[in-house]
Amino acid sequence: MTQVIVVNGGSSSGKSGIVRCLQAVLPDPWLAVGTDTLVEAMPASMRASDGGIGFAPDGEVIVGPEFRTLEAAWIAGIAAMARAGARVIVDEVFLGGAYSQRRWREALGELRVLWVGVRCDAAVAAGREVARGDRTIGMAASQAEMVHQGVTYDLEVDTTHAEAMECARTIAAHVE
C-alpha cells in the first residue's frame, strides 16, 4: 500500500492544484502538507533573514542554515505521521534537486513512496505566475528546470497541456 506520495515541481507548475484534485479522487482521506506549510510555520523573521528564507528580486529562493535545521525536523515529523497511519501527500519544491530528494528518501526509509515529478514549460509557468498575482515574479522560470536536476521519479506529469484533474487521475492510477 502506498503510504506517501511526494509531488515535486517548481513554483506555479500546478502542484497544489494537482494535490487538491488527488485528495478529491483518492478513495481514502490523505493529508496534504508541503513547503508552503513549513514556510508558514516558520517565524516571520526567518522569511526574510540570513538564517531563514529569502526571495531575491529575480525570484530566486535563498535558504539559510537555520531553515535547513528546522526543515530536517519537519521532514522527520512528516515521516512519523505516515508511520503512525496517515496517508500523506507531500507537496514539495526540491530547490536542492537530487540532494533534496535524498533527504526525504532517508527520512521516509521503509515507507512505500510514490515519487511524482510535475513538469511545466517555463514560459507557461511564468504566465501562470502573473495570472495568480500572489507570487514573486521570476520564481516560476528560475525553478522550472532546477528542481528536477538529478531527481528520479516513478511517474511524471506535465501541466503544460494537461489539466490538474487529469494529472491527478493519472497519479491516482499508480497508488496502491
Which residues are identified as catalytic? 36
Nearer to a second copy, 75 or 114 (CB): 75
Nearer to a second copy, 17 or 54 (CB): 17
Q: How far is the CB of 53 from a second copy (least distance, A)?
A: 11
User: Does 10 interact with a second copy (rule: CB under 8 A)?
Assistant: no
Name the segment binding a second copy (CB under 8 A); options: 92-100, 128-136, 138-146, 147-155.
128-136
Q: How far is the CB of 150 from a second copy (least distance, A)?
A: 25
User: Does 150 interact with a second copy (rule: CB under 8 A)?
Assistant: no
Picking from 129, 149, 125, 145, the residue whose alpha carbon sits closest to that of residue 137 is 129
Between the CA of residue 174 and those of 28, 35, 44, 154, 170, what are the distances in Å? 14, 23, 38, 9, 7
CA pair distance 87, 41, nearest whole angstrom: 21
Between the CA of residue 143 and those of 31, 41, 84, 101, 173, what are the distances in Å? 25, 22, 33, 15, 27
User: Does 69 interact with a second copy (rule: CB under 8 A)?
Assistant: yes
CB 156 within 8 Å of CB 116: yes
At 65 the three-state DSSP class reads: helix
User: Does 56 interact with a second copy (rule: CB under 8 A)?
Assistant: no
Among 2, 55, 63, 70, binds a second copy (CB under 8 A): 70
Q: How many residues bind a second copy (CB under 8 A)?
A: 53
Cell of 127: 504566465
User: Does 72 interact with a second copy (rule: CB under 8 A)?
Assistant: yes
Between the CA of residue 115 and those of 8, 119, 131, what are the distances in Å? 8, 13, 28
**Residues making contact with a second copy (CB under 8 A):** 14, 16-18, 20-21, 23-24, 29-33, 37-38, 40-46, 51-52, 66, 69-70, 72-74, 76-86, 124, 127-128, 130-133, 137, 163-166
